Amino acid sequence: ILNVEQSPQSLHVQEGDSTNFTCSFPSSNFYALHWYRWETAKSPEALFVMTLNGDEKKKGRISATLNTKEGYSYLYIKGSQPEDSATYLCASPETSGSRLTFGEGTQLTVNP
């Protein structure tokens, strides 16, 4: 079973601040990395699927980078808004199939 770790566990920022958090994963046998946003009482929402070393993806004010050689991905949020408050999850598929192993998430709170 893969070991996917996220840090920090929680984060409180002020509206307008930019922030970032980390997902680390085994660099050997890497295949893909998935990022999700999970707001309370809603479905986890897919943000990105990343596959290539050096990949950078962007969706509005959220972007992510990938380093497969060292086994980490960063998620950045520019100009945080209260509606960005959520738990951000990263996940990697097992080498034996497509089931995902998730990190424990980073809980972001953006204060107005």
Q: Which of 8, 10, 18, 104 binds other proteins (CB under 8 A)?
A: 104
Interaction pattern, residues 36-65, with other proteins; x per rule: CB under 8 A? x----xxxxxx--x-x--------------
Beta bridge pairs of residue 91 = 34, 102
84: nearest Cα among 21, 5, 25, 22: 21
**Least Å distance between CB 4 and other proteins?**
8
Instruction: Give the residue with the Cβ less far from other proteins, 91 or 108.
Output: 91
Nearer to other proteins, 76 or 102 (CB): 102
> Taking a C-beta distance cutoff of 8 angstroms, is the pair 93, 99 a contact?
yes
As given in the structure block, the two tokens for residue 101 are: 């192993």
The least CB distance from residue 89 to other proteins, in Å, is 7
Separation of CA 57 from chain center: 12
For other proteins, the binding residue among 11, 89, 108, 110 (CB under 8 A) is 89
Q: Is the peptide bond before 8 cis (omega within 30 degrees of 0)?
A: yes
Q: Which is nearer to other proteins, 52 or 70 (CB)?
A: 52
100 near other proteins, rule: CB under 8 A: yes
* 63 CB neighbour count, 10 Å cutoff: 17
